[in-house]
Chain A
């Protein structure tokens, strides 16, 4: 099976812009979770989508949003970018929802905000 893929792999944006990141899960996986990874904070949960519905949301401002399509591909959007949004954004797919089973991570999108 092909693994989880994310596009683009690298992105440079300026403050105030918005960005959309994409994640394609492993075939058959209907759950996609998004995480922000920074050196000081580790992996922080953003949100989880399952069958096109947001199931859980982490403690991030409303500038961070996402959606999932009928083929389970997911996108996350960050509006009005801030310098502090610079991070590695990882998505992970799993068979079941709710974080109770193995999550398969993608390679991540490295976002740099200048």
Chain B
């Protein structure tokens, strides 16, 4: 079955710096890759996603890149702010019709220091 590895497990940056979180997946047929942000004590929320027919997607300060050949995808956050501090989860899904389910990485705790 699918396996998703996420690195690093913790990441500390200064406000204004960039942060990069990387994930690798094992199933070459995976075709949907979302990223979720979970603030302390709150529920996970989708921040950006990418499908396998796209190599990069941006939304303001957040971007995701996908390398299908190497089977890895990354989250890039630029100009980090203290409110970006949270746990970030990557996930991968092999969707065939209505079959498939999300497999999550173990999370990266991002701390942005003012």
What is A's interface to B at a CB cutoff of 8 Å? 4, 33, 35, 40-45, 48, 50, 55-56, 58-59, 90, 96-100, 102-103, 105-108
Contacts and interface: CB of A to CB of B under 8 A. Distances in A.
Given A43-B89, A90-B44, A99-B93, A56 B104 contact: no
Contacts of A103: 34, 46, 102
Given A98-B95, A98-B97, A99-B100, 18 more contacts: A33-B101, A40-B106, A42-B105, A43-B44, A43-B91, A44-B104, A45-B101, A45-B102, A45-B103, A48-B101, A90-B43, A96-B98, A97-B99, A98-B98, A99-B32, A103-B46, A105-B43, A106-B43
Contacts, number: 67
Given A90-B44, A102-B49, A105-B43, A43 B104 contact: yes
17 contacts: A4-B43, A33-B101, A43-B104, A45-B101, A55-B99, A56-B99, A56-B100, A56-B101, A58-B101, A90-B44, A98-B98, A98-B100, A99-B32, A99-B100, A99-B101, A99-B102, A102-B49
